[in-house]
Amino acid sequence: MSSNLPHSAGNEEDNSQSTAGLSMGDVLLLPDAERQIVNLLMRQREATVIQVATQIEQSPQTVLELLDRLVEKGFIQYTEVENERRYRPRLAPKRNRSVPKNIWDKLSDR
């Protein structure tokens, strides 16, 4: 049986967990191999273990271990389609950057 529901660390049936996902700052702090995978997934939006292994020139077993680690950290998630996992990044929502209403008053005081 295949599932199109996203899977991530913690509850496998519910993707609304408290982890925020991946921020661009998080990407910079990842070890090289994990960062390479996340960058690839961000560009391609989704990939299988074999596709990732081919792109980064690593064995499928090594890539699977790295992907599992990234799923555990909450940085990526996967769906199962026809018994094949497809991985994709789990990005943190962008923070709302609201500008104070009196910004022009504050700037004109200078």
pTM of the predicted model as reported, rounded to 2 decimal places: 0.67
**pLDDT at residue 6, rounded to an integer:** 59
Distance CA 66, CA 60 (A): 10
Q: Does some domain include residue 109? A: no
The residue ranking higher by pLDDT, 44 or 22, is: 44
Residue-wise pLDDT for 1-24, tens only, equals 445 555 655 434 344 334 556 677
Instruction: Provide the number of structural domains found in the chain.
Output: 1
**CA distances for 82 relative to 12, 67, 70, 72, 90, angstroms:** 17, 19, 22, 23, 22
Tokens of 70: 């990234």
Residue-wise pLDDT for 53-100, tens only, equals 999 999 999 999 999 999 998 899 999 989 999 999 987 766 666 666
Q: Does some domain include residue 102? A: no
Tokens of 59: 């064995």
Tokens of 10: 């913690």
* Domain region containing 78: 1-94
